[in-house]
Amino acid sequence: MQKRKYTHMKHLDDLIKSMRQSGMTLWEITDELGFSYKQLRDWSYRHNREKRTIL
């Protein structure tokens, strides 16, 4: 059985946002930061959901 991988994504919000604004794709960001695609995809979903509820 494989060990679970948990990362506090909230600490990296600003970094990920700046990478997205500079035009990087989710796949490129995962390669750069060493996350799995699913981790970043789920972060993106949560981030967008939080943005919707604020408006």
> What is the residue extent of each domain of the chain?
16-54
CA dihedral 6, 8, 10, 11 (to 10 degrees): -140
Say what the pLDDT of residue 40 is.
Answer: 93
pLDDT 10s digits, 18-49: 999 999 999 999 999 998 999 999 999 998 88
Say what the pLDDT of residue 9 is.
Answer: 82
- At residue 1 the predicted structure's pLDDT band, cuts being 50, 70 and 90, is low
Nearest to 36 by CA among 23, 2, 18: 2
52 or 54, higher pLDDT: 52
Other C-beta atoms closer than 10 Å to the C-beta of 53 total 6
- Whole-model pTM? 0.76
**Per-residue tokens: 7:** 């990362």
Q: Is the pLDDT of residue 55 over 70?
A: no
